[in-house]
Amino acid sequence: MKFFSYILVYRRFLLVVFTLLILLPLPLILRSKILFPLVFL
């Protein structure tokens, strides 16, 4: 049972890391998408 709980904790940790990796570049991507058309204008 200890092994099972360890898997659950590890899975939650992976989920948090994964969401952080996805969410962190988002503002950069959005900013570049907003800035690039302005630069080309």
- Span 1-41, pLDDT tens digits: 788 899 899 999 999 999 998 888 888 888 888 777 777 76
**Annotated domain spans of the chain:** 1-36
HSE value, Cβ hemisphere, 13 Å, CA-based, for 32: 5
Report the distance separating Cα 24 and Cα 4, nearest Å.
Answer: 30
pLDDT value of position 17: 93
pLDDT value of position 30: 80
pLDDT value of position 13: 95
Report the distance separating Cα 13 and Cα 3, nearest Å.
Answer: 15
